[in-house]
Amino acid sequence: MRHAWGALVCAIAVLGARVAAEEAKLDRAKALEELKAIEEKNEKLTQGVLQKAAKELTEAGADKFKSVQVYVESYRNVEFGRAQDGETRFQQWKVDNRDRIASPDFGAAAQLHVQYVALVCRQALEEKEAPQAGEWGGYWETLFKSREIAESPGEPAEAKIPSPKKGGGGRKQKKEGGNDFDRPALESPLVRDRQIQGFLEGVQEAKLSSASLVPIFNQVVRPRLRKAKSRDLMRLWDLRIAAMDEDVEKEGKTLGADDYKILKRPELMWERADDLEKMGDQEGAWAQKMGILRANPYHPKLSSWIEELKKALGEGSPALPEKTP
């Protein structure tokens, strides 16, 4: 009897283990199915949130007054919205900053900022709604024309750029307008208010500010226009260099002018030629580089430039003509 009871217990235990295993397999299958559904729902919600933000900001960015309104509203929600006395403090902030908010400088900067964040949101949507290369170039050109001095002759490429100034047909008088728009787009009140930081963390453009003229040109505009093989890149290069030439002449500082003409300008021209080469016009780029070397025999980068060009023009290059006997 004892043996029979033991056998029965063992049988029940084995059966229970089999049932538990079957249930575990069944739970696993359901979990995988549920995970897939959650993933699809999350992707759909993410796309919806980004599309809504991009649409709203794109529409607002078309109008200066609407841009200021949208920015100030997001600023209120982020900085004052969660406090009990938030509305009172926000109204006081508006009074304290009334003249600045109403100024043309703030309006122009806010409009550019809204436009840039809208482009970043669209970039996060990737192939579905990502901006064309020309749209990034157009943004940069508008930003460029909004300021008096685009960059000082000795300024490094990653330096912080002053806030955008009054818009119009050309570069305008420089005025102090605060640093509202110097922060990266990822930290913008527009992004924080809509709680879309997580969707933009992997977007390189979100790490730049809407006012960072040189980084946007080097990290966003140049690679995109190069990839598109757009000759518009050469036009933007010429616009940038011509403006710096003009600014140096206006400043009339001998040392600064010499530093620009002897050091920075040749480097900019070399980078321009590099872009031309990467776009496929190797012969034209090499000819320009030869001209730069001839005109700047004492430049600190001369040796590295020569080595670079010698490598490009080396034996076996398909672009070289055959040697005559």
Q: What are phi and psi for residue 99, nearest 5 degrees?
A: -65, -40
215, pLDDT greater than 80: yes
- What mean pLDDT do residues 239-266 have? 83
How far does Cα 145 stand from its chain's mean position?
Answer: 18
Residue with tokens 């901006």: 131
pLDDT in tens, 138-154: 999 999 998 766 565 55
- Whole-angstrom CA distances from 283 to 60, 224, 289, 315 are 45, 22, 10, 15
Q: Which residue has the higher pLDDT, 174 or 7?
A: 7
Q: Which residue has the higher pLDDT, 2 or 269?
A: 269
276, pLDDT greater than 60: yes
How confident is the model at residue 84, as a pLDDT? 74
Asked if residue 203 lies in contact with residue 124, where contact means CB atoms within 8 angstroms, the answer is yes
From CA 114, how far away is CA 180, in angstroms rounded? 12
From CA 109, how far away is CA 104, in angstroms rounded? 9
pTM comes to 0.77
Phi/psi zone of residue 211: left (φ > 0), alpha (ψ -120 to 50 degrees), beta?
A: alpha
- What mean pLDDT do residues 161-187 have? 55
119, pLDDT greater than 70: yes
User: Which of these ranges, 10-19, 131-140, 235-244, has the smallest mean pLDDT?
Assistant: 10-19
In three-state form (DSSP H/G/I as H, E/B as E, the rest C), the secondary structure along 121-184 is HHHHCHHHCCCCHHHHHHHHHHHHHCCCCCCCCCCCCCCCCCCCCCCCCCCCCCCCCCCCCCCC
Asked if residue 203 lies in contact with residue 120, where contact means CB atoms within 8 angstroms, the answer is yes
Over the chain, what is the mean pLDDT?
Answer: 81
pLDDT in tens, 65-111: 999 999 999 999 998 887 778 888 888 999 999 999 999 999 999 99
From CA 166, how far away is CA 145, in angstroms rounded? 9
Band of residue 256 on the pLDDT scale cut at 50, 70, 90: low
Q: What are phi and psi for residue 281, nearest 5 degrees?
A: -90, 70
